[in-house]
Every structure is written in C-alpha cells, then in structure tokens.
C-alpha cells in the first residue's frame, strides 16, 4: 500500500466529535500508528525517488544529455552520389569527378575518398584524374559523415583503344635531285594535294621544296632573310593573322650540343598550284623566333610541333637513352629577344628510341612522334594543352622500313599520315586510317 493510501486511512480514523473514552483512545492510538506508518512510507518513497534522480543525473554527466537508451538516437548513414564526365573515350582520358551531391540526413558529410581503380587514390569533393592506359576502370567514391558512418558509390570509366592504320603505301618518289636529306614534312591545308619538305643542311641555302601527294616536284621556295645551320623539322600552324596558315621551320639540330640558342623561322604559307611545276620563288615576311633551353643548356632536337588549337610551339629532344624531353614555347610567339622554353614533360621511348620527327593533326586531337624504327601516337585530352597528350606509352602505329626516316606529317584531314627518309629520290609513304 502506498504512503498516500495509508495517510488517507489514518485521517479517516480521526473522525470529528469523538469523545475521550477508552474506545476513542484505542481508535486514536490506531490512527496515530497509521499516521506514523504513512509518514515512514512517504519518507522511504521520497528517498527512493531522490536516489533514482541522482542515478539519472550521474548517467547524464558521463554520457551527455542524449546518452544511453533513455534519451539517445541511432546515427543514420550518409548517401554517396558520384558524377563523372566523360566516362569513356580514347586514352589518356582526363575525367572530372564530383561527390558534391552526397548528403547526410542527420548531420554532414565530412570527407570524400576516391579510388580510381588504377592504383591511384585521392581525397576531395571534386577531383580530376587522367587514365593513361587502355582498359575499364571501376571508380569508387567513399563518403564519411560526422559520426563516422560511411557509404559508397561507383561508376565505370572506359578508356578506348588505339586507331588502326594500314601498312605503308608507296605514293611515289620525291623526284628532285636537290632533295637529298629530307628531314621535315608538312601537308598543305590551303592547297590540297601539296606537301612541303626541306633538307637538313641545304648547300643551296634556306630552301623549301613542294611536291604533289604522288611525289611529283612542283617548285623551290627560298625563305628571305633565313640562314641554314641544321634544319631538322617543319610544321604548319596558326600565326599572327587569323585564318592564315604559317610555315614553321626549325633550325634545332645540335649533334654536339654546343649552341646557346635555337631558331625557328615563320612565314605565311603561299598558295601553291598542284597543277603547275617548275616554280622558283621566294617567300617574304619571314619572322625569326629565337629560343633558349632552361638553365642555358644545349640539346639536340629533330622534332618541331605547332599546336593548331592554341598556337603553342613544342620541341622534342633526341636522346641516346630514349628519354626525350618536351619543351614548350607558349603562344603568342613573337620576334625579339630570345625566350626561354619551358620543360613540360618527357617521352619514354626506350633504348634506341631516337625521336626524329613529329606532327599534330589538323584538328589538334592526335599527336605523333617517330623514331628511325617505330612511331607512337597519343590522343589529346579535351580542353587541355597539347603536352598533356604525352602521358603513358601511347599507341603504336606502323612505320615503313626507311633508310634514315626522319619526317612525318598528318594529311590535311588529320586521319592519314605520310613519312619519308633522307637519301636521293626518297619514297613518300602513306598510312591510311582504317
């Protein structure tokens, strides 16, 4: 019986108007006893309540206001959301990834962890990663919330294969007795069916030679104001005037690595009639672009590339150990004092991999570098400078067996490529994309 009930009974025993008789005394005595028992019970119940309250207060102090089964709530896990763009394409493939859409219902996401599936990892809500080798990659995003719970999301990135080219097709001989050391090659876009080439050390001076795509000679063009030391490559690319293609000729050879600077000549490409031969002319408006390598070092180089998208100029060195350095001359390219090139990468071509020429497609989406015995091609990542294409081993593409092959150029469409070699009446080879 509770203390409250006992107290009610005790009060009921002391009804008003009772006399002081023996029976009343007995009743009063009983009432007194009942009241004492009620008071004792009330005191005990209060003590028990106080003890319970103290226990709860102690638990709260140790575990916090929401600790224990009395007031705590279970943590809800976060939700991982992954976005990637692009998810497939030719390698090297630059992919932008974001986990910004991830959320936590009862807190916040405090960390984003990435596993790219190629052995590389990163941390951050938004990251970028270049997948160099061909294959399929499972990318995993793991997010953690502020209570340590985690969740995952995945996507698949597919790096596409290499372009397929047929074997060499002999287009004919470059029929000119004056051309004996063809070192560079460029295919005209403004004059379809016309290509340009040059000797590396022409005894007749700074001259360029034009041929049809079948090897028939068209003309000889002198570069006004230019000199010849060791012309090793040429390129076609943009220049100061929008919409005008320019010829770039690289006096960049240095077998003994002794020259303090290199020179690149730039001139607007003149129109050439593929139906007219025996032309002898000179090209005016020749600009002299002078460059040095970092630290004043000298390098031997035979590869010159001009980016058709950005107008940047690249020089790739030729090294006996097969490690070719890639140097950048960023646009705009202007005459005047020498500019120092910037080293932006290197190519691992292996022993015997002597870089002898290079080219970029008309759209700027593929770049190729050749050696005496093999050639490699790399796709350019979207919205990236050309040097970022030189990641990984690239795609192996066929190359004709040539006596001393040093020249390579993409066709006007940017699909096929042409090669030729030093020597008298060299053959012009073409590789057609399948």
Least confident of 14-18, 300-304, 310-314, 369-373: 14-18
Give me the pLDDT at residue 381, please.
Answer: 81
Give me the pLDDT at residue 90, please.
Answer: 72
Fold for domain 169-431?
Tachylectin-2; Chain A (2.115.10)
Percent of the chain with pLDDT over 70: 83
Give me the pLDDT at residue 307, please.
Answer: 98
Q: What is the pLDDT of residues 238-267, one digit of tens each?
A: 999 999 999 999 999 999 999 999 999 999
Looking at the predicted structure, is the pLDDT value of residue 11 above 50?
no
> Phi/psi of residue 31, each to 5°?
-65, -40
Q: What is the pLDDT of residues 142-189, one digit of tens each?
A: 999 999 999 999 998 888 778 889 999 999 999 999 999 999 999 999
Six-digit token pair at 339? 């500019």
Q: What is the pLDDT of residues 313-329, one digit of tens each?
A: 999 999 999 999 999 99
Percent of the chain with pLDDT over 90: 73
**Cα 185 to Cα 359: distance, rounded to the nearest angstrom:** 9
Q: Categorize the per-residue pLDDT at 36 as very low, low, confident or very high, splitting at 50, 70 and 90.
A: very low
Looking at the predicted structure, is the pLDDT value of residue 20 above 70?
no
Q: What average pLDDT does range 127-139 have in this prediction?
A: 84
DSSP 343: E
Contact 322, 351 (CB under 8 A): yes
Nearest to 308 by CA among 411, 237, 378: 237
> Phi/psi of residue 47, each to 5°?
-65, -40
- CATH superfamily, with its number, for domain 83-160: Immunoglobulins (2.60.40.10)
More confident residue, 2 or 371: 371
Q: Where are the domains of the chain?
A: 3-56, 83-160, 169-431
| Contacts of residue 315, Cβ cutoff 8 Å, sequence gap at least 6 | 250, 252, 262, 291, 301, 303, 304, 326, 327, 329, 341
Least confident of 70-79, 236-245, 302-311, 416-425: 70-79
Give me the pLDDT at residue 72, please.
Answer: 58
Q: Strand locations in 99-149, DSSP E?
A: 109-115, 121-123, 126-131, 135-145
Q: What is the mean pLDDT of the chain?
A: 85
Q: What is the pLDDT of residues 45-55, one digit of tens each?
A: 433 433 333 33
Angle formed by the axes of helices 22-63 and 3-13, nearest 10° = 160
**Cα 318 to Cα 354: distance, rounded to the nearest angstrom:** 5
| Contacts of residue 386, Cβ cutoff 8 Å, sequence gap at least 6 | 305, 307, 309, 310, 312, 314, 360, 364, 367, 380
Q: What share of the chain is helix, strand, coil (3-state, %, to 5)?
A: 15, 40, 45
Looking at the predicted structure, is the pLDDT value of residue 368 above 50?
yes
**Cα 229 to Cα 335: distance, rounded to the nearest angstrom:** 19
Q: Categorize the per-residue pLDDT at 134 as very low, low, confident or very high, splitting at 50, 70 and 90.
A: low
**Cα 347 to Cα 321: distance, rounded to the nearest angstrom:** 11
Least confident of 26-40, 112-126, 129-143, 288-302: 26-40
Give me the pLDDT at residue 393, please.
Answer: 84
């Amino acid at each position: 019986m509770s203390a409250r009930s006992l107290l009610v009974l005790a009060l009921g025993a002391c009804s008003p108007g009772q006399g002081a008789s023996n029976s009343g005394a007995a009743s009063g005595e009983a009432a007194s006893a009942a009241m004492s028992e009620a008071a004792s019970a009330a005191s005990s119940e209060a003590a028990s309540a106080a003890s319970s309250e103290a226990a709860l207060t102690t638990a709260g102090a140790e575990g916090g206001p929401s600790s224990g089964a009395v007031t705590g709530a279970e943590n809800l896990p976060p939700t991982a959301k992954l976005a990637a763009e692009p998810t497939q394409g030719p390698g090297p493939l630059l992919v932008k990834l974001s986990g910004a859409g991830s959320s936590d219902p009862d807190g916040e996401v405090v960390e984003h962890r990435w596993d790219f599936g190629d052995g590389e990892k990163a941390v951050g809500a938004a990251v970028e990663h270049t997948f160099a080798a061909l294959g399929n990659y499972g990318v995993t995003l793991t997010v953690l919330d502020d209570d340590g719970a985690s969740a995952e999301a995945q996507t698949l990135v597919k790096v596409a294969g290499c372009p397929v080219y047929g074997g060499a097709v002999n287009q004919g001989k470059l029929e000119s007795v004056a051309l004996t050391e063809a070192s560079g090659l460029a295919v005209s876009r403004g004059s379809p069916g016309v290509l340009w080439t040059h000797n590396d050390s022409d005894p007749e001076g700074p001259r360029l030679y034009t041929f049809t795509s079948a090897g028939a000679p068209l003309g000889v063009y002198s570069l006004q104001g230019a000199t010849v030391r060791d012309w090793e490559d040429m390129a076609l690319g943009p220049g100061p005037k929008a919409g005008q293609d320019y010829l770039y000729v690289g006096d960049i050879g240095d077998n003994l690595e002794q020259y303090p600077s290199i020179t690149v000549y730039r001139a607007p490409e003149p129109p050439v009639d593929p139906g007219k031969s025996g032309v002898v002319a000179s090209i005016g408006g020749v600009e002299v672009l002078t460059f040095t390598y970092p630290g004043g070092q000298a390098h031997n180089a035979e590869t010159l590339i001009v980016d058709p998208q950005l107008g940047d100029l690249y020089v790739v060195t030729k090294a006996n150990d097969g490690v070719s350095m890639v140097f950048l001359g960023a646009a705009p390219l202007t005459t005047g004092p020498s500019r120092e090139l910037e080293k932006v990468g290197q190519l691992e071509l292996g022993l015997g991999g002597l870089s002898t020429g290079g080219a970029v497609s008309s759209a700027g989406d593929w770049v190729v570098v050749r050696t005496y015995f093999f050639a490699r091609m790399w796709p350019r990542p979207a919205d990236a400078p050309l040097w970022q294409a030189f990641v990984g081993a690239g795609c192996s593409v066929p190359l004709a067996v040539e006596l001393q092959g040093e020249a390579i150029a993409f066709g006007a469409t940017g699909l096929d490529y042409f090669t030729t070699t030093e020597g008298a009446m060299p053959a012009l080879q073409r590789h057609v994309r399948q």
